[in-house]
Amino acid sequence: MTFASTNGDGKRERGRRHDARRRALKPWRAWYKSARWQALRLAQLSKQPLCERCWESGKVTAATVVHHRKKHEGNEVLFFDPANLASSCAPCHDATEQQIERRGYSTAIGVDGWPIDPNHPSNR
């Protein structure tokens, strides 16, 4: 009787295949490895070392990710535009920012009880 490997080799291999597909479909993803991006990322985190989303909600959290405010979708000018960058912590980037990108708007609510994002369906 054989048992499935529990050392994560299968998961790692699936991750590699997934990454290879993403690189093939979105060649601009290679820009994240460029010296130009690394310098821009470092400059952003030096300029704003705290997560902007956490800061807005009254929390102080170190930023570890640089997020594009406006989706660049392979537009090189938008990708490397310092004005299009925001500092984020990993939880905000990996959850909140990704949800906003998929949905197209934020569900954050203002003190008046209404959504604060002008793109929210309630504000259209």
pLDDT tens for each residue of 38-93: 999 999 999 999 999 899 889 999 999 999 988 888 899 999 999 999 999 998 88
Instruction: Give the global pTM.
Output: 0.64
Q: Note whether 31 and 37 are within 8 A (CB).
A: yes
3-state SS assignment for residue 62: strand
Question: What is the DSSP track for 89-106?
Answer: -HHIIIIIIHHHHHHSS-
What CA–CA distances, in Å, run from 10 to 4, 47, 88? 9, 40, 31
Characterize the bridge pairing of strands 65-68 and 85-88.
antiparallel
